[in-house]
Amino acid sequence: MATDFGVLSFGAYLPRARMQRKAIAAANGWFNAGLRGLAKGERAIGNWDEDTITMAVEAARDCLGDRDRTGLRQLVLASTTHPFDDRQNATVVATALHLPSALRTADAAGSLRAGTGALVAALEGRDRTLVVAADMRRAKAGGTQEMLYGDGAAAMLVGEGTPMARLLGAHAESVDFVHQYRMRDRDTDYGWEERWIRDEGYLKIVPRAVAALLERCGVEPGSIAHFCLPGTLSRVQAAVARKCGLPEGAVRDPLGATVGDTGAAHPLLMLAAALEDARPGDRILVAGFGEGCDVLLLEAGAIVADSVARRGVKGALADRREESNYLRWLSFTGTIDLERGMRAKVDKATAMTVLYRNRDMIEGLVGGKCRACGTAQYPRQRYCVNPACNALDSQDDYLFSERTGKVMSYTADALTYSPDPPTYFGMVQVDGGGRMLMDFTEVDPATVDVGLPVRMVFRIKEADPKRGFVRYFWKAAPIRA
């Protein structure tokens, strides 16, 4: 079978909680009455145990499915909100995905174009690369950014094979047009005046980049089937499309009403949504705006729908829970300094030696499976736990992270400290063998019960505020139809 180079698979992740914008407007309308005009729809918000890394892991898992991961040569994590400034975030993602150590990993940052820039570099290279983009941007309470931002992630697997989309060309315009920025000593972005951004930014820089690319590729604007342009300004996508001569019907929904702007991840998220709807031969134009513009022109392949059982954008949009507790969300993001009580003041220093020696077990949830009797166990030990076996050094790696299970027993503990009490934990019977005592996340109190089907998700275990370190581990999350 002849092979080509391009996008082989895609994945997406959105946090399940969706903050209702009317709740934000109701809480802040006494000061900023203008928020009422933005009080429609909802935005995706991360749970207290989610961040850029955990969302990236979930998007990557959705993208890779059960594909063989040993052939990957590179993983790039693009974001403007990497949790670590001096620890490679992409390496944490690679460990959680149980990727081989013979792998190039890199963080792409510094611009909302980080995601499109990483994708262009991968598509113009020849290595099998996993590009993941994720963002969880903070905003000041009561501002428009708080209303319009959203949390989320998207992933693209690039390499040789039968691509879902191949690159026809790419073009970049690097312009120091500052529409928003965040200095290194600040937690939130500073945005400039909207009309200036629209008229001098989007309507001048993006059409110039699109025209240059289409001319180079010899493609007529009218042949574009899908136009993906992130942006929260009202009707800016349609205005740019008209100026570029693109068909009105090609403009993709920017997902502002249901997700919000997910920053560096948003161009890839919109591309994933376009691939879900594309037909063979469709031309897809993707633009990333920020200090200039990246533009990619792709053509959907003959096999648009592949065998990967992914949730994708549609599945992520469907799995939602309405959230209207504005104060709880502010406590999750650290916007308000909540009094958390004495139980929260336990010293939580992380032993880096233990973390390193057990990194596969802790961050990859790798257990063992006995070659002699087939017993699966976590953690992996030298002796098989099966009393009828007890074989020595007989265990091969076994990825519990890729298994589902059922709740055997559970507890809702209101005394143990949790940023979102009560703490749910219990025993999980893993499908295929093995039992694990695990924390639960994304629990609906009304539905948690013995026998509840669960899957493993990569989340923040706890944070060490004194030293500024975050520990990750796996939790059990309910499987919903």
Other CB atoms within 10 Å distance of the CB of residue 381: 12
Q: How confident is the model at residue 338 (pLDDT cuts 50, 70, 90)?
A: confident
* Residue that is last in its domain, among 332, 366, 390: 332
Rounded Cα distance between 318 and 256, Å, is 15
* Same domain for 352 and 325: no
pLDDT at 472 over 80: yes
CA-angle at 376, arms to 375 and 380, nearest 5°: 115
Q: What is the CATH number of the domain that holds 134?
A: 3.40.47.10
Q: How confident is the model at residue 349 (pLDDT cuts 50, 70, 90)?
A: confident
* Same domain for 234 and 101: yes
Residues whose CB falls within 8 Å of the CB of residue 2, separated by 6 or more in sequence, listed in order: none
Q: Supply the pLDDT for residue 78.
A: 98
* Same domain for 196 and 307: yes
* Residue that is last in its domain, among 315, 332, 349: 332
Q: Among candidates 68, 118, 143, which has minimal Cα distance to 267? A: 118
* Same domain for 265 and 405: no
Residues whose CB falls within 8 Å of the CB of residue 380, separated by 6 or more in sequence, listed in order: 361, 366, 367, 368, 395, 397, 398
pLDDT at 223 over 90: yes
Asked whether the beta carbons of 340 and 39 are under 8 A apart, the reply is no
* Same domain for 294 and 251: yes
* Same domain for 188 and 117: yes
Q: Supply the pLDDT for residue 1.
A: 41
Across 329-355, average pLDDT: 85
Asked whether the beta carbons of 127 and 159 are under 8 A apart, the reply is yes
Rounded Cα distance between 129 and 140, Å, is 36
Rounded Cα distance between 336 and 328, Å, is 9
* Same domain for 464 and 401: yes
Which range among 88-92, 94-98, 418-422, 464-468 shows the weakest confidence by mean pLDDT? 464-468
Asked whether the beta carbons of 224 and 250 are under 8 A apart, the reply is yes
Helix (H) or strand (E) holding 435: strand 435-439
Number of domains the chain contains: 2
Q: Supply the pLDDT for residue 416.
A: 87
* Same domain for 324 and 377: no
Rounded Cα distance between 454 and 469, Å, is 28
* Domain region containing 445: 339-478
Query: Where is pLDDT greater, at 356 or 344?
Result: 356
Q: How confident is the model at residue 50 (pLDDT cuts 50, 70, 90)?
A: very high
Q: Supply the pLDDT for residue 305.
A: 57
Q: Among candidates 81, 72, 141, which has minimal Cα distance to 107? A: 81
Rounded Cα distance between 242 and 264, Å, is 25
Residue that is written with structure tokens 């959680």 in the block: 96
Q: Supply the pLDDT for residue 337.
A: 86
Q: Is 176 helix (H, G, I), strand (E, B) or coil?
A: coil
Beta strands 292-300 and 165-174, pairing class: antiparallel
Write the burial class of residue 322 (CB in 10 Å: 0-12 exposed, 13-18 middle, 19+ buried): exposed
pLDDT at 73 over 70: yes
Using CA of residue 335, residue 336, residue 342, residue 343, what is the dihedral sign?
negative
Asked whether the beta carbons of 405 and 428 are under 8 A apart, the reply is yes
pLDDT digits (tens, 9 = 90+) for 2-27: 579 999 999 999 999 999 999 999 99
Across 141-166, average pLDDT: 96
Could you tell me how many helices (H) and strands (E) the chain has, helices first?
13, 22
* Same domain for 361 and 289: no
CA-angle at 354, arms to 352 and 356, nearest 5°: 65
pLDDT digits (tens, 9 = 90+) for 228-244: 999 999 899 999 999 99
pLDDT digits (tens, 9 = 90+) for 229-284: 999 998 999 999 999 999 999 999 999 999 999 999 999 999 999 999 999 999 99
pLDDT at 84 over 90: yes
- DSSP one-letter string for 105-144: EEEE-SSTTHHHHHHHHHHHS-S-EEEEEEE-----TTSH
* Same domain for 440 and 318: no
Q: Supply the pLDDT for residue 2.
A: 52
pLDDT digits (tens, 9 = 90+) for 357-396: 999 999 999 999 999 999 999 999 999 999 999 999 999 9
Residues whose CB falls within 8 Å of the CB of residue 434, separated by 6 or more in sequence, listed in order: 367, 376, 377, 378, 398, 400, 403
Q: Which two tokens stand for residue 62?
A: 């959705």
pLDDT, mean over the chain: 94
What whole-number percentage of the chain has pLDDT above 70?
Answer: 98
Rounded Cα distance between 423 and 213, Å, is 53
Alpha-helical regions (H) of 334-411: 352-357, 359-363
Rounded Cα distance between 47 and 202, Å, is 32
* Residue that is last in its domain, among 304, 332, 360: 332
* Same domain for 170 and 140: yes
* Same domain for 256 and 321: yes
Question: What are the phi and psi torsion angles at 179 (to 5°)?
Answer: -100, -20
What whole-number percentage of the chain has pLDDT above 90?
Answer: 87
pLDDT digits (tens, 9 = 90+) for 291-318: 999 999 999 997 665 556 689 999 999 9
